[in-house]
Amino acid sequence: MNNTNNKPEMTDAGLGFSKPAIAVDEKGNSRQIELVGERALTIYVDKQEIVTLMTMGTHPELLTLGYLKNQGFFEELNEIKAVQVDWETQAVAVVTNSQSSDFSKQMEQRTVTTGCGQGTVFGKLMDKLKNIKVPSLLIKQSMLYALLDALKHHNEVYKKAGAVHGCALCTENNIDFFVEDVGRHNAVDAIAGYMWLNNLSGDNNVFYTTGRLTSEMVIKVAQMGIPILLSRSGATQMGLDMAKQAGVTLISRAKGKHFMVLNGVKNIEFEIGDL
Whether the CB-CB separation of 229 and 207 falls below 8 Å is answered with yes
Q: What was the pLDDT predicted at 112? A: 45
**Binning pLDDT at 50, 70 and 90, where does residue 24 land?**
confident
Flag whether pLDDT at 144 surpasses 60: yes
**CATH number listed for the domain at residues 9-16+33-124:** 3.10.20.10
Mean pLDDT, the chain, as a whole number? 85
Q: What is the pLDDT of residues 178-237, one digit of tens each?
A: 998 877 889 999 999 999 999 999 999 999 998 889 888 999 999 999 999 999 989 999
Whether the CB-CB separation of 227 and 267 falls below 8 Å is answered with yes
Kindly state the helix (H) or strand (E) to which residue 90 belongs, with its residue range: none
Overall average pLDDT of the 131-160 stretch:
84
Whole-prediction pTM: 0.84
Q: What was the pLDDT predicted at 117? A: 45
Q: What is the pLDDT of residues 170-191, one digit of tens each?
A: 997 789 999 988 778 899 999 9
Q: Where are the domains of the chain?
A: 9-16+33-124, 139-274
Contacts of 275 by beta carbon, 8 Å cutoff, 6+ apart: 141, 142, 145, 257
Does the fold of domain 139-274 match that of domain 9-16+33-124?
Answer: no
**Binning pLDDT at 50, 70 and 90, where does residue 23 land?**
confident
For the segment(s) 139-274, the CATH number from 3.90.1150.10, 3.40.50.720, 3.40.50.300, 3.40.140.10 is: 3.40.140.10
Q: What was the pLDDT predicted at 188? A: 93
Whether the CB-CB separation of 36 and 14 falls below 8 Å is answered with no
Q: What was the pLDDT predicted at 130? A: 79
* Full DSSP string of 99-165: SS---HHHHHSEEE-S-SS--EEESSHHHHGGG--PPP--EEHHHHHHHHHHHTTS-HHHHHH---E
Flag whether pLDDT at 238 surpasses 70: yes
